[in-house]
Amino acid sequence: MNEQKLEIVKSKNLKPKPQSDQIPFGRTFTDHMFVMDYEVEKGWHDPRIVPYEPLTLDPAAMIFHYGQTVFEGLKAYRAEEDRILLFRPDMNFQRLNRSSERLSIPPIDEDQVMNHLTELISIEKDWVPSTEGTSLYIRPFIIATETSLAVAPSQSYKLMIILSPVGSYFTGGLRPVTINVEDQFTRAVKGGTGMAKTAGNYSSGYQAQAKAYKEGNADVLWLDGMEKKYIEEVGSMNIFFKINGEVVTPELNGSILKGITRMSIIELLKKWDIPVVERKISVEELYKAYEEGLVEEAFGTGTAAVISPVGELNWLGRKMIINDHQIGELSQKLYDTITGIQTGKVEDRHEWTLEVK
């Protein structure tokens, strides 16, 4: 993978930018996108920034048939003095390559693509919204493009990065949510693709999602696929519990996504000398601790919401009300610290942010 010159083709028709506090998630895209191609003989080549435009693919392109694809999700934040910050983007590109390995997709040069991304964002800097809680969502994704119905890794791929301004996840501050503990459907299992950010992991959850919504829940808490006993993660978030003064999160077991927010929270808690452990935790154990009055806080973590306090869990008809549906002290502190770092209001002692020049 040799460093290649980035070609830039500017759009002639710039779109109007939406009101930054009224943006539905992931429906509005900026004027430009990043594209790079892979072919076996050439490797990854032709990095370019071009006007955002439709893709043209053969109906037999492999992406439509065998799901060989991976993606990432990160954000650019508008900080004080109009600086634009990315939060640990190196971790996203590392994870993209780990996901690619699982799906037999050739790796990208992480540094090269990260440079191209900052170039893209600097071209689109006016699209980074400024209202509190808003950001520019960044979606890198790779799709298999070979025209063939053979069940085999594609010989060609396309990496694209598209950008979408997004509104605040919580309008009016953090609000604890109710989550259903799914006891039938499975998201992932050891030996499967759970640790990869790949398309099939998401649509496979729609039935469980619909079931959860129907019963008034905002999301699904997945259990392990083998025994339906151990807690894994929420739809697009990792999960943490504060039990009797100790913070517990499921260990990375191959079926859980290694969230970058999760990782950052563990580092912060360690720095703050708050006990934190990554281990197996069964839903039975959690309910037992609850009955003993030991469950103090619960929260989901992910790029979308940063911290999403959990006010209530439902499992096989058993309701768990956490912290009286109120935001926990630790949840709030983590939220404030991370969003503070992301927007440059809190000093970044960890070198987590990367400024887009």
Ligand X SMILES: Cc1ncc(COP(=O)(O)O)c(C=O)c1O
Of 133 and 165, nearer to a second copy (C-beta) is 165
> One-letter amino acid identity for 327?
I
For ligand X, which is the closer residue by CB, 144 or 260? 260
Least spacing, CB of residue 141 vs ligand X, in Å? 13
Q: Which part of the chain contacts a second copy (CB under 8 A), choosing from 57-65, 78-86, 173-181, 259-267?
A: 57-65
Identity of the residue, 74 or 121, whose beta carbon is nearer to ligand X in the bound complex: 74
Q: How far is CA 279 from the centre of its chain?
A: 22
Q: Work out how close the CB of 74 gets to ligand X at its nearest, in angstroms, rounded to a whole number.
A: 8
Q: Which amino acid is it at 333? A: K
176: left (phi over 0), alpha (psi -120 to 50) or beta: beta
Which tokens belong to 8?
């830039």
> Could you tell me if 294 and 242 are in contact, meaning their C-beta atoms sit under 8 angstroms apart?
no
Q: Taking CB under 8 A as the rule, does residue 49 contact a second copy?
A: no
Q: Which string of x and - marks every residue 228-247 that binds ligand X (by CB under 6 A)?
A: -----x--xxx---------
Candidates 273, 280, 276, 272; CA nearest to 255 is: 280
Site stretch for ligand X (CB under 6 A), options 25-33, 110-118, 207-215, 295-303: 295-303
* Per-residue binding letters, 66-105, with ligand X (x by CB under 6 A): -------x--------------------------------
Residue 69 interaction partner, one of a second copy, ligand X, none, beta carbon < 5-8 Å per kind: a second copy
Task: Give the x/- contact pattern for a second copy in 28-47, rule: CB under 8 A.
Answer: -x---x--------------
Q: Are 83 and 122 in contact (CB under 8 A)?
A: no
The gap between the terminal CA atoms of the chain, to the nearest Å, is 25
Residue (119 or 146) nearer to a second copy, CB: 146
**Interhelix angle for 89-102 vs 110-123, to 10°?**
130
CB 15 → ligand X: shortest distance, Å?
27
244-263 binders of ligand X (CB under 6 A):
257, 259-262
Tally the C-alpha atoms within 13 A of residue 127's C-alpha that lie toward its C-beta: 25
Residues between 70 and 129 with contacts to a second copy, criterion CB under 8 A = 71, 102-104
98 CB-contact burial (10 Å; exposed 0-12 / middle 13-18 / buried 19+): middle
Task: Give the DSSP letter string of 90-119.
Answer: HHHHHHHHHHHHHTT-PPP-HHHHHHHHHH
Instruction: Find, among 75, 73, 23, 95, the residue nearest to 235 by Cα.
Output: 73
Q: Which does 209 bind (CB under 5 to 8 A by kind): a second copy, ligand X, none?
A: a second copy
Binding partner of residue 287 among a second copy, ligand X, none, CB cut-off 5 to 8 Å per kind? none
By CB under 8 A, residue 150 contacts a second copy: yes
330, two tokens: 């630790």
Q: How far apart are CA 260 and CA 202, in angstroms?
A: 18
Residues that bind a second copy (CB under 8 A): 24-27, 29, 33, 52, 54-61, 63-69, 71, 102-104, 137, 139, 141, 143-144, 147-153, 160, 162, 164, 184-193, 198-207, 209-210, 225-228, 235-236
